[in-house]
Structure formats: structure tokens, C-alpha cells
Amino acid sequence: MLKRIVILLLAMMLGIGSMTSCIKLDDRSEDYGERETVETLAPSPERVPELPDPLNNAKALAEKTLAGLTFDEDFKDLSLNVIIVEDTEIKLGAEIETSYAKGLRMQSEIVSQKLGCTVFIRRMPYSTFLSDAQAYHDSGLFLADVICIPQKALGYMKNRGLLMELNSVYGDTFTEEYFDADAKLQGSGMNRLYGIAGDATVNPAAYTCLYLNKAMADDAGITEDIYGLVESGNWTFDAMLEYKAKISEKYPDAFLFSSKDSGDVIEAVFGASGMKYMSTSPDGLPAVANNGDRLANLIAKLKTVLADPTVGYCAEDAYDVFGQNRSLFYIDTLQAAPSIKGDYTVLPMPKADSEQTEYYTPTSEEAYVYAVLSSNNRPEYADTLIKALNASAPVLSEGWSRDLLDYAFSNEQSYINVKSICENASYDFAYMYGDVYMSVADSTYNALKNAVLTNAGYDYYAGLQTWKLNGDMNALFS
């Protein structure tokens, strides 16, 4: 009898504990709209099936990078929380657990092991996160140690007081070797930084690439030639333009490339050049970047190419033109990969010129960055956690690459190329300061677009180089 009573009491305690662990702001759904399910990823070795070798290789690389991470904080017995805000997704149509999901779980485990604590990673829809972040902020409650959000959200959240200003608190974060040059520049003394680009690689949907119509290339006998140029580092804009003549015999009426908008072509080619819209004036304010002769030459090339109606096709049905074997290349983000039918290969965007040593991947406003909520009552842990997440990013990049190979790509060459595409993402650091700084980058982009599409030319763009924010705008940053 006593044994039955004890068992009954234990069952009741477990039931109450389960109910308690599930309590969250979802109970206030009538105030904040219908709630959406979120997925929590925490270390759980028994749930992780045998992983493909490439993921294990990525894990070894991540662990090697993590091994060099040092920190002064004591993380013992802590539970750290990371929220990944998923807005733009690559729809894979997968019915089983994806390699990306396994990579997230693996990241949770190796970061937990490194820090000596438990790191929980939650995936949450954008709308759900925004309402929760506001509700927790207004209630003075803790929501997460670090968030990973689309960079377009930084301005919106900053203007509502939801984000912590970072560069005065986490200055050393920006000097680590595994952060890119942009991230180092972000921490060089300019004011009011709210996001860190790093190597998040949470979802490459926002990464721009070049799709090769492999059926057309095979028919023209140029596929291996193009692959060789990419592999050798000689894939340049000029090299790409030469293929218009090389397909003319088999496809006399075909375009070299197609894109939904001429502005997308300009932005993609410029972003792939490694040049930036923004720079920093001597007094620390944002200013138009002086890209000099490289940009003047690129503007001249783009002006010629986009003025020739036989080279490029820019309209909303560009995707159909590519699918109908009427264009050799198609410019879009990786988000389009699963919906493209037929045999194609993903390529990096070409280098702007032979001076360029690396391929760069342009990113849209959907690209992910790290940030910290202003409601975080223990921000001293966020710095090291961001570094650890960044150092372990290879498992996420590999996870996405495997998923695209399994559910979207028609050949392994795309898988090989997309790994370098993910590793060389180029961010426009104007986003990191919130929406006000975007006025500089937007003005510069419009100037670039006008320089290409009108008779203005490079002189029009160069005339903006002395432009700076006026006094009224200055007050916003003081």
C-alpha cells in the first residue's frame, strides 16, 4: 500500500513539473495573437542518429576552432539560451530530420561541452519572436542570451528599445581571427552597433549566387570549362561575358543571363566585387565609400552589358526564361534552388576583375546576424557565447549544404560550390547600426544604379563621396 502511495505521489510530481516547464508567454495569446510552435534544440545524445561523414568533418573543424577560444567567465551549471529567428527559409519539402537540424543539435552539444554548461537553441518564427521580445521587454523578463535574426530586423527592434548597444560592451569580440574584415571594421570605434555579422550561416537563403543551365552548357560543350574557371579562381565578370559568343551557335537567340530586375544585377555584381557602399569619415560618421577606379571600370562594364538587349534579360519572368533554355545563367538567391526544375549547377558570383583574390557572396537584408536583447540581465555571458556560436558555424554550413544536395541540387558540383558560397558571405555593415545608417547605404546604392542605367556614369557616383550626414542626422547618433 505504501509503495502504491509513493508511486502515485511521484507521478503527480512529474506531471506538475512537466506542466511548469511548459509555462511561457503563450498563455497570453489573447493579447499577442495566435502563438506558433517553436522548436527547442538542446544537447540530447540519445536523439542524434549516426551523422554523415561530412558533418563529422565539419564538427572536427568546429571543435578545432573552439579549442582556441579562451574566456574568463564561469559558465558552470548555467543554462544559456539562443533564439534563431527564422524568417526566410529554403523550402526543402523534407519529411525527415534534415542535416541542418542535426547540425544545430551538434552545435548545441559542442558549444555546451566547450563552455561547461547547457546551451539551448530555439528556432522561432519571426512574428512570434517580435511579439515575445516586446512582451518580455515590457515585463522586465529574461528571454535569451543571444539572438540570431535577419539583419533587416535590427532597425525595427533598435527603434523600439529591444536591442542592447554592443560595441561599448563587447569590443574584443570584433578582433577575433574568425570574424571577417567587416566585423573588425564594425568594432573600430564607430558608435551604436547593434548587430555582429560573424559567420552565422544559420540559413543561406539570403545568399546570392549564379545558376548555370547545365543542359545548355553540356549541349554547347562548355560545362567543364566553366567549372575549371571557378575552381582555379579565374571566374571573373569578363570571363562570364565571353560565353555569350560560345553559346551563339547552338542557341543563337538565347540570353547570356536573366534576372528579375536590372537593379538586382547591379547589386549582385557590385556585392560580389568585395567593394562596399559605406565607409567611415575621419570624424567617425558613416560616409560614401571611395571605390575609385575599380568601381569606375565596373560601372562602365555594367552600363554596356545592360544596354545590350541580347546579353541580359531582366523581367519578372526571368526564372521561366532560364527554365526554357533561353538563358545560360540566372541570378537569384539560394532560396530559389528547390523550385528550379531541370539540370542546373550553382556557381559563385564572378569576381569583378582579375585584381580580386576571393569570391564574395552578396547577401540580402534577410541575412542573419547576432544581437543581444536589452532585457538580457546577464550580458556578460553573451560575448563568449557569440564567439562560440561563430566558431562552431561550420556544422550549420555543412548541414545546409547536405540538405540542398539531398533535396534540391541535381549534381554534386553545386554542393561543392555552395560550401564556398556560404563561407564567403559579404555583409553591408550599414545594417548593424539600425535603420538610420541605412539612409547612407540606400543613397549610395541608388547613385550606383543611376550611374549604370542613365547617362550619369561614374562622375555622378563620385560626386557623392564628399557627402556626409547633416547636423540634424548627427543628433540621432549622439
* Interatomic CA distance for residues 283 and 190, integer angstroms: 9
The 3-state secondary structure of 214-283 reads: HHHHHHHCCHHHHHHHHHHCCCEHHHHHCHHHHCCCCCCCCEEEEECCHHHHHHHHHHCCCCCCEEECCC
The answer to whether 461 touches 447, Cβ cutoff 8 Å, is: yes
Pick the closest to residue 334 from 345, 318, 323, 325 (CA basis). 345
Extents of the domains making up the chain: 32-204+365-432, 208-362+436-467
* Interatomic CA distance for residues 108 and 43, integer angstroms: 6
* Interatomic CA distance for residues 404 and 333, integer angstroms: 13
422 CB neighbour count, 10 Å cutoff: 23
* Interatomic CA distance for residues 232 and 229, integer angstroms: 5
CATH 3.30.870.10 for domain 32-204+365-432: no
CATH superfamily of 208-362+436-467: Periplasmic binding protein-like II (3.40.190.10)
Q: Does 208-362+436-467 match 32-204+365-432 at the fold level?
A: yes
The answer to whether 382 touches 370, Cβ cutoff 8 Å, is: no
* Interatomic CA distance for residues 164 and 349, integer angstroms: 35
Pick the closest to residue 257 from 202, 329, 324, 195 (CA basis). 329
For the chain, 478 residues long, give each residue's pLDDT as a single digit of tens. 433 443 333 344 434 443 333 323 333 233 323 334 445 554 444 434 444 578 889 999 999 999 988 888 899 889 999 999 986 667 776 667 788 889 999 999 999 999 999 999 999 998 899 999 999 999 999 999 999 998 888 888 988 999 998 765 665 555 554 455 555 555 555 557 788 877 777 888 889 999 999 999 999 999 999 999 999 999 999 999 999 999 999 999 999 999 999 999 999 999 999 888 777 666 556 667 777 889 889 999 999 999 999 999 999 999 999 999 999 999 999 989 988 888 999 999 999 999 999 999 998 888 888 999 999 988 889 888 988 998 898 898 899 888 998 889 989 999 999 988 988 888 777 777 765 566 667 777 888 888 898 877 667 666 655 444 443 334 333 3
